[in-house]
Amino acid sequence: MVVKIGIKRMKDLKIKSIKSVGKKEVYDITVKDVHHYVLENGVVTHNTAVTYSSNQIFVIGKAQEKEGTEIAGYKFTINIEKSRFVREKAKLPFTVLYETGIQKWSSLFDLAIEYGSIVKINQGWYSTVDMETGEINESKRRAKDIETDDKFFKKLISDPVFKKFIESKFKMNQNGVIPNDDVDEEEE
């Protein structure tokens, strides 16, 4: 496939046409200690390794979850490095405790803080917010107590504004990278 690009300035980059040239052998060039370099005719290449050919790359990190000095489980975070289905650079945290397994609402706790339905009062203490009135609940609770509050989270996930917030945070653009009307396809 040959892609012709019309460019005056980098921000004006537009594809003028795409022409199929059949199957061609391609190479993934990697150079030790150099992340990119210039080939003939000013073509710039970049080391890609397995990243280029992958559809999904998720990196999972973990941290200990403790009760006092004892390890009670782990908090995992899935970092979306590359994806065709979820917005890249998204982070999806979840907690797994030895006694009870995956915590039902643990991913939503961090999202609820970002959304504003949970506020941090002071170190280690949180309160919930009534999103209809904006009032902060006067009772202070630990994160582990809110993370098991089925009533709070069931109400949160039924909130249409919260649903839109989650969509905007994780959903890929429906139109793709390049809108179809910007590309003129040429027949061979």
| H, E, C per residue of 116-163 | CCEEEEECCEEEEECCCCCCECCCCECHHHHCCCHHHHHHHHCCHHHH
Q: Is residue 124 over pLDDT 50?
A: yes
What pLDDT, on the 0 to 100 scale, is given for residue 132?
A: 87
| CB neighbour list of residue 35: distance below 8 Å, 6 or more residues apart | 46, 47
Q: pTM here?
A: 0.59
74-92 confidence digits (pLDDT tens):
999 999 988 888 888 888 8
- Measuring CA to CA, which residue among 131, 107, 104 is closest to residue 117? 131
Report the amino acid identity of residue 32.
K
End-to-end CA distance of the chain: 10
25-66 confidence digits (pLDDT tens):
766 666 666 655 566 666 666 655 666 667 888 999 999 999
What pLDDT, on the 0 to 100 scale, is given for residue 1?
A: 47
Lowest average pLDDT, out of 31-35, 158-162, 172-176, goes to: 172-176
Q: Is residue 98 over pLDDT 80?
A: yes
| φ/ψ of residue 79, rounded to 5 | -100, 120
> Distance (Å, rounded) from C-alpha 78 to C-alpha 169?
15
What is the residue-averaged pLDDT of the chain?
79
Which domains, from first to last, does the chain contain? 2-54 (no CATH), 57-170 (3.40.50.300)
